[in-house]
Amino acid sequence: MKIFKDSKVKNQVVKPILTIGTFDGIHIGHQEILRRLIQEAKEKKGESVLFTFEPHPREVIFPDTHGLKMISNLEEKMETLNELGIDHLILFPFTKGFSELTAEEFVKTILVDDIGIEKVVIGYDHHFGKNREGNIEVLRKFGKEYGFEVEEIPAQDIDDINVSSTKIRKALEKGDMNTVTQYLGRPFEINGIVVEGNKLGRTMGYPTANIDIQDSKKILPGCGAYVVQIGLHGQVYRGMMNIGFNPTHNLQENESVEVHILDFNDTLYGEKLKIEVLAKIREEKKFNSPEELKAQLKRDEAFSLSYTS
């Protein structure tokens, strides 16, 4: 997949077949649109293009109140798009000035002049341009005027899948990872760097890797203990993850993410881990003693080792 940081790609992409959107999480509804996009590009002997924005439009339009929490960060999104087989990704720089473009200015300047689109494939109820004035009827009108095709994915094709980014976020808050996995078509992913923690886990025989997520906009599952798979150096390990505030030892004010990798003893400081969250084991709770916590960790370990999706 080739990545562009602006829209001036004309003559660099063969017969661009394009879709537009933020595609947060790239859930199975998004995947339906992208499959149609890729299929259409193949049939027309063209190349598939996803036009998306960086940063997210809400960060620019509502800088103080956007409250964004993203299901996928940019790196995770690009990895998934590449696996799906998208040919080109345009990461268009969203600015206040760009948000003022009318629907026709966007179509004429960006889609036609800069990209040279052959066809646009979009999900139903898509809006674009200043004040979201552009819709499917407007796009079809411009298509006739400027010489490109427009295909709308019917509402039923998406509604039958019955999934949305909002539903995924609500499931994550509850730690309902079965629903999250079903809606994403894959396990929810967390990426981060191992940093030094309080080292309390090793005193109970469960050393943990403290994970720096590095992206404040990345949404996390609700507090609790989870079964996870950890990718490291091309290997996959089973593990346990805790998200929360470590109430038993009462040593932290901020939420942390800690992972214990089963049957693994090497030092991990500075390593990047890919964590796939498989299932919630239990809620986070305050234990009466370290011994009580250790006994619970043994039960968590047994559950994690025996868990099958």
User: Catalytic residue positions?
Assistant: 258
Enter the tokens of residue 130: 């200043």
What residue ranges in 137-219 does DSSP mark as E strands? 149-153, 188-195, 209-212
Q: Which residues pair with 211 in a beta bridge?
A: 194
Query: What distance separates the 2 farthest-apart alpha carbons in the chain?
Result: 74
- 3-state DSSP percent of the chain in helix, strand and coil, to 5: 35, 25, 40
76, HSE (Cβ side, Cα atoms, 13 Å): 25
Question: Any idea which residue has 């298509």 for tokens?
Answer: 143
Q: For residue 224, which of 208, 243, 240 has the smallest C-alpha distance?
A: 243
| Closest C-alpha among 133, 57, 55 to residue 99 | 57
Query: For residue 212, which of 187, 225, 194 has the smallest C-alpha distance?
Result: 194
Rounded CA-CA distance 295/242 in Å is 15
